[in-house]
Amino acid sequence: MVARYAAKGGVDVLLIDKERVLGERVCGEGISQRGLADAQLPSQDCIRVPVYRVEIHGPRGASVALESPGRAFGYIVDKPEFLSSLAEAAQAAGADIRLRTRLIHIARTSDGFAARLRTPEGVVHVHARAVAGCDGIGSFVWRSLVGPWRTELVSCYQYRMSGVRCEDETLYFFVGSNVAPGGYAWIFPRGEGEANVGLGVRGTNPRPFLKKFVRDHELYFRNARIVKRGAWAVPVGGPLPRCVFDRLIFCGDAAGHVMPITGGGIRSSLLAGREAGRVLAKALRHNALDARSLSDFLYSYHRVYGCYLLRGLKARYIADHLTDRDLHDLITIVRAEDLVRAASGRGLTPIILRLLSKPRLFLKLLYLYLVT
C-alpha cells in the first residue's frame, strides 16, 4: 500500500521483497469486510469464503455466537492471491516491484540512504531520498538505522488441514488457559473441508498446545489431516512509541500496527501503508522530509485506525488479568457483538455495563479499565 499510494502521488518507488512468491508465509487469512474494501483490489478473486457467523467458545464449555445474515462480517482470503492483487495495483500506479531481492545493508547519506540489495543477478547499489520500513517484526531497517527493535510478541503456530468438519461461513475462536495461555485458538474455514487451524500464546511454545487442541476437539478433526504447517510471531504491544524519523517511516508489523487484543494486522497495516504512502509522496514533492513534516502520518493514521489500536491495547491488558472463571462469566452474560466490538478496539463500556448482575466481575473490570 505504501508503494501504491506513493506512486499515485507521482514519485518513483522501488518495492523489494526477499520472498520468491508473495504470501508464502503462513497466516490466518481472515480480513474484515471494511478491510477488503480499504484494499481496493482490482479484482476479488482472492476470496475463498465469506464469513456470516462468529462463534466464541469459553474454557468451561459455554459459547456465544454472532450472526449477520445477508451481509458478511468479513472473508477468508487466499493470501498469495490477495498480495498479488495488491502488487498488481501498486504496479499499475507506477511502482517498480522486485521479488527475490534482499536488503543487506542500508545507511544514511547527506541526502537520503545508500543501500545494497542482493538480487538473483548479484549485489546492486541503490540510493533513496526516503524509505518506508515495512519489513515485519525485528525490522532490519529499524535495527540498521534506529537501534534494537523491541515489543511484546505472541508466538503462533498453524496447520492447514483438510477434512475438517466445520461450517464454511463460520469463524471459530477458543479461549482459556488450557487452550492457549495469553492468546486463543482458531478455526478459519477455507471451503471444501479445508481450514486454517492455529493458536497464539505468550511465554511458551505454541506447538504442544496446538497438538492438544486438535486432539481435544475430535468433533472437528476426527478425519482431518495436516497438509501444511508453519510458525510466526505477532507484535501485540501496540504501536511503537516512535515510527517516524527524518526521511524514514515504519509501517505494519515493523511499527506494531497490529490489533493487540486479537493479533489481526491486515486492515491496520493496509491503512498505515495508505497513509504513509500519501504523506511520503507529498513530502518528496515538496522536499520536506524531516521528521516533523512526516509526522503528518501519525495524525492521519491515528484518525483512521491508530486510535483503535490503543483501545485494543487497553482491552488486551485487561484480558491479561482475567481468569478462566472470568472468561466463562463473560461469555455467558455478555452479547457476542459486544465481545467482537471490544476485540476490534471499539470500546469496553457495553461489556462493563452488562456485568452489573455480576458484582465481582463488574468491579474487577471497572478497576482494570480505570487503572490501565
- Cα gap 22→49, rounded to integer Å: 20
pLDDT in tens, 300-343: 999 999 999 999 999 999 999 999 999 999 898 888 888 877 77
- Cα gap 112→134, rounded to integer Å: 17
For the 2-54+64-147+243-286 domain, the top CATH level (class) is alpha beta
| Cβ neighbourhood burial of 181 (10 Å; 0-12, 13-18, 19+) | middle
- Cα gap 225→273, rounded to integer Å: 37
Would you state the pLDDT for residue 347? 73
pLDDT in tens, 69-118: 888 999 999 999 999 999 999 999 999 999 999 999 999 999 999 999 99
For residue 207, is pLDDT > 80? yes
Phi and psi torsions of 179, nearest 5°:
-90, -55
Look up residue 128 and give its three cell numbers: 533513496
Would you state the pLDDT for residue 167? 94
- Which pTM value belongs to this model? 0.93
Would you state the pLDDT for residue 188? 98
**End-to-end Cα spacing for the chain:** 33
Would you state the pLDDT for residue 362? 85
Whether the Cβ atoms of residue 261 and residue 232 lie closer than 8 Å to each other: no
Would you state the pLDDT for residue 25? 83
In one letter, which amino acid is 59? P
Q: Where in the chain is the domain with CATH 3.50.50.60?
A: 2-54+64-147+243-286
Would you state the pLDDT for residue 341? 76
User: Measuring CA to CA, which residue among 190, 188, 217 is closest to residue 200?
Assistant: 188
According to DSSP, residue 276 is labeled H
Q: Spell out where the chain has E strands.
A: 14-16, 30-32, 47-51, 53-57, 63-67, 74-77, 96-98, 102-109, 112-119, 122-128, 131-133, 153-162, 170-174, 184-191, 194-201, 225-235, 244-245, 248-250
